[in-house]
């Protein structure tokens, strides 16, 4: 990112951390395959193990419960499957429940058939309707197989934090499985698989300052596991085969260490975000901050300006040197209506701008953004006044 530009899109991807870059360069100097038994192979395998330990520590589990993948989307497709194994015994899951505001990778349902997926509503803040969840769990026919709930820890667009623990208690009372998409949580929220009550967590390296193309599926144990998505030579204990991406895994591990250290900075980030929103409301009293009344990630603000489409505002900000998202940046650069806004009952056609801060954002950078925001909003208000006078 150029020094003349301002990057406020950390929920889409966090810039690669210097320590992650250094770990990747060190890994690329290793010659061995982690599956080889000679000294070079053992050195590569040791690097994978160290990274696995740091990622596991982030989620509060032993290293043996981390399976590396090519990213969160692969991890979601791995775990969202009707086919599980409890040791050698098959376990069938016949129903997948998802909230209406999940990331598209989860909403797609992985390896479940369309008629096996049930989408649950959310309230106006975007939080899962727990009564709808309880009804769906009660409706499930256990004779056909188990039920699974996939729920994000925090929404990637609004930053709204979901009632994961409460949902997990309901799922467990109905003998179901719980998958938590924790992609947006590292460095922003404490993560503990056991405290959340989940069976599986999904993580992504590039959301926490690691490289793109690395992720992990974290399991509550080693006995109950999904059928492999990628089969082959037996790497990752056979759960995810293929030679490990050594450099990406090393960068992931380094980023996990940094993410754990970032939690202490979140109160300051929240104060910075709140100051920014107060200033935006002063400049634009009609601004709508989606999910603003709910508990949110400290770094996230998702807002709409009446009369100004989100893609128009995004382009205007980009031309002024500010990088933000118009919703989620997960559709090959396409800008479409936000399914999150639609689920919340908001104006999906108008869209919304997401500003997502880093743990190291400065007051001066927020002031620079606010100056540009006021200029863009001023032009919006001038257009509205001209239209009213016409």
Judged by DSSP in three states, 386 sits in: helix
Q: Which of 320, 324, 325, 323 is nearest to 371 (CA)?
A: 320
**Strands in the chain per DSSP E:** 6-7, 66-69, 83-86, 89-99, 117-120, 146-152, 177-181, 200-204, 215-219, 224-226, 288-289, 300-304, 322-323, 353-356
CA atoms within 13 A on the CB side of 353: 26
Residue 314 to residue 309: CA distance in whole angstroms: 9
Predicted model pTM:
0.94
Residue 12 to residue 206: CA distance in whole angstroms: 9
- The CATH architecture annotation of domain 6-15+264-389 reads Alpha-Beta Complex (3.90)
Residue 240 to residue 226: CA distance in whole angstroms: 10
From first to last of the 390 residues of the chain, give the pLDDT tens digit.
455 899 999 999 999 999 999 999 999 999 999 999 999 999 999 999 999 999 999 999 999 999 999 999 999 999 999 999 998 899 999 999 999 999 999 999 999 999 999 999 999 999 999 999 999 999 999 999 999 999 999 999 999 999 999 999 999 999 999 999 999 999 999 999 999 999 999 999 999 999 999 999 999 999 999 999 999 989 999 999 999 999 999 999 999 999 999 999 999 999 999 999 999 999 999 999 999 999 999 999 999 999 999 999 999 999 999 999 996 545 445 556 899 999 999 999 999 999 999 999 999 999 999 999 999 999 999 999 998 888
Domain boundaries, the chain: 6-15+264-389
How many other C-beta atoms lie within 10 A of the C-beta of residue 222? 12
Residue 173 to residue 332: CA distance in whole angstroms: 39
b/e 287-308 (16+ beta carbons within 10 angstroms → b):
bbbbbbebebbbbbbbbbbeeb
Q: Who contacts 339 (Cβ-Cβ below 8 Å, separation ≥6)?
A: 100, 101, 104, 107, 348
Active site residues: 330
Q: Which of 283, 282, 275 is nearest to 376 (CA)?
A: 283
Task: Give the Å distances, CA to CA, from 193 to 39, 103, 314.
Answer: 35, 20, 36
């Amino acid at each position: 990112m150029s020094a003349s530009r301002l990057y406020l899109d950390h929920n889409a991807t966090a810039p690669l951390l210097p320590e992650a870059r250094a770990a990747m360069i060190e890994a690329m100097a290793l010659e061995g395959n982690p599956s080889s038994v000679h000294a070079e192979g053992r050195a590569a395998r040791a690097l994978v193990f160290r990274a696995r330990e740091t990622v596991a520590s982030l989620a509060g589990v032993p290293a043996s419960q981390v399976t590396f993948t090519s990213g969160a989307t692969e991890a979601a497709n791995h775990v969202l499957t009707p086919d599980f194994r409890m040791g050698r015994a098959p376990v069938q899951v016949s129903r997948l429940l998802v909230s209406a505001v999940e990331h598209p990778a989860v909403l797609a349902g992985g390896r479940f058939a369309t008629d096996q997926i049930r989408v649950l509503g959310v309230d106006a803040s975007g939080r899962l309707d727990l009564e709808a969840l309880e009804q769906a769990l009660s409706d499930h026919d256990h004779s056909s197989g188990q039920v699974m709930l996939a729920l994000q820890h925090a929404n990637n667009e609004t930053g709204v934090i979901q009632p994961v623990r409460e949902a997990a208690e309901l799922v467990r009372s109905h003998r179901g499985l719980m998958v938590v998409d924790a992609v947006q949580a590292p460095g922003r929220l404490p993560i503990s698989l056991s405290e959340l009550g989940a069976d599986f967590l999904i993580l992504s390296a590039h959301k926490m300052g690691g490289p793109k193309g690395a992720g992990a599926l974290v399991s509550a144990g080693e006995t109950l596991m999904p059928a492999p998505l990628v089969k082959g030579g037996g790497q990752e204990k056979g759960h995810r085969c293929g030679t490990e991406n050594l450099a990406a895994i090393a960068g992931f591990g380094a980023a996990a260490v940094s993410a754990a250290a970032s939690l202490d900075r979140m109160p300051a980030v929240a104060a910075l975000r709140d100051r920014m929103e107060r200033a935006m409301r002063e400049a634009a009293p009609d601004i709508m901050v989606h999910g603003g009344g709910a508990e949110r990630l400290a770094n996230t603000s998702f807002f709409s300006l009446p009369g100004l489409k989100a893609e128009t505002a995004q382009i205007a900000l980009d031309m002024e040197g500010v990088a933000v998202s118009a919703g989620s940046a997960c559709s090959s650069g396409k800008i479409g209506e936000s399914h999150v806004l639609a689920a919340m009952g908001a104006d999906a056609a108008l869209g919304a701008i997401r500003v997502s801060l880093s743990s190291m954002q400065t007051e001066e950078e927020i002031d620079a953004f606010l100056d540009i925001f006021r200029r863009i909003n001023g032009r919006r208000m001038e257009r509205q006044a001209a239209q009213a006078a016409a």
